[in-house]
Structure 1
Amino acid sequence: MNFIKKLFGKQKNSNIGNFIVATLNDKIMPLDRGEIYEAPLEELLKANGIGEVTGGGTMQLKSGELEYCDLEIKLNSNEINENDIQLIIKKLEELGAPKGSKLTIEKTDRKIEFGQKEGLAIYIDGQNLDPEVYKNCDINFVISEIKKLTNDSSEITKYWEGGTETALYYYADSFTEMKESIMDFVNSYPLCKGARIEQIA
């Protein structure tokens, strides 16, 4: 395995029960995961008597870069209710779950793929540019400009800061449209020189 798992928040406290795991193809920080996904999903589960969120985790590559996250859900019913499953999936998609996400029903190991958003990552070189570039340019300006260009209205910034580069993550309906919308800025702003752009969902 090329990654390690770090768990944050509530932990699964029992092996007894009917559990499902929502694996979200989203490079989101643990605290933001709780706000964006866990809290609204917990509200839905309790309001409909479906169950509760019992755990959450964030997966990282050995480099430390975020890979994906998951939510562990304990169902109240001993039987799998397909309407409940679809309600959970619909809610997670409304909350922004990207393509490549999946729901695993532990009892049967059944996996259901879901997600609608596509993802773009831009990797900013943190060590090979002219020192004056780092002195005079601002990563926060890059973040805000790309947010505007991709019509990202979210209040959180999805990012990872490594030893040699900083990754910024954006999600929308189309990776191609996002990439096209930012290329003029990326090609003109000194801090973005040599930046890598990759599709992540």
Structure 2
Amino acid sequence: MKRPLLLLFCLLFSACSWAQQPTTFVFVKVAESILPIARGNKYEDPLDAALKAEGLGAVTGGGTSLSKDKDIDWVGVDVELTDVTKGVPFLRKKLIEFGAPKGSTLEYELDGKRIELPVHEGGGQ
């Protein structure tokens, strides 16, 4: 009986320690008019899997920005990175690989400074 309880305690403790690891919130603004399910399939799910596989963080949510006419202007993906130095270049690479168009950006804060970085080198629309 003690062994299963010890195993359960270890699993819970390790999960809690990961959750308490300091992270940096990164908002991914994708300049694409895409429906929520498609956004999840194209960006959220594969990004989450790739980030977790590399131990760089996780996708924590997503959303859609609508125009006054109720058309989709752009979509967003919320990411928590455990290592900004490695995570930001990794995000840019993966977003380009997944087809994020020019005009897409990463927005985050580092050392109290707000940063908006284009996904594609040179930015552009």
TM-score of the two chains, using structure 2 as the length reference:
0.73
Query: The residue matched to 1:109 in structure 2 has which SS?
Result: strand
Letter in 2 for 1:87: F
Runs (4+) of structure 1 moved beyond 3 Å? none
**Which has the larger share of helix?**
2
1:8-157 matched pairs, under 5 angstroms: 17-77=23-83, 80-81=84-85, 83-107=86-110, 108-115=113-120
RMSD value, Cα? 1.7
Q: Structure 2 unaligned segments of length 5 or more: list them.
A: 1-21
Query: The residue matched to 2:96 in structure 1 has which SS?
Result: helix
Larger radius of gyration: 1
Counterpart in the other structure of 1:181? none
Counterpart in the other structure of 1:161? none
Q: Structure 1 unaligned segments of length 5 or more: list them.
A: 1-15, 117-200
* Cα distance, 1:55 vs structure 2: 1.2
Is the Cα contact below 8 Å between 2:81 and 2:87 reproduced in 1?
no
Deviation string, structure 1 residues 11-44 (Cα, Å, up to 9, x no partner): xxxxx84101110001000110000011110111
Is the Cα contact below 8 Å between 1:21 and 1:106 reproduced in 2?
no
* Cα distance, 1:106 vs structure 2: 3.0
Distance in structure 2 (CA, Å) of the matches to 1:32 and 1:64: 18
* Cα distance, 1:62 vs structure 2: 1.2
Distance in structure 1 (CA, Å) of the matches to 2:82 and 2:36: 26
Is the Cα contact below 8 Å between 1:21 and 1:104 reproduced in 2?
yes
Distance in structure 1 (CA, Å) of the matches to 2:120 and 2:35: 19
Distance in structure 2 (CA, Å) of the matches to 1:17 and 1:90: 20
Question: How many residues were matched structurally?
Answer: 99
TM-score of the two chains, using structure 1 as the length reference:
0.46
Is the Cα contact below 8 Å between 1:100 and 1:114 reproduced in 2?
yes
Percent identity between matched residues is: 34
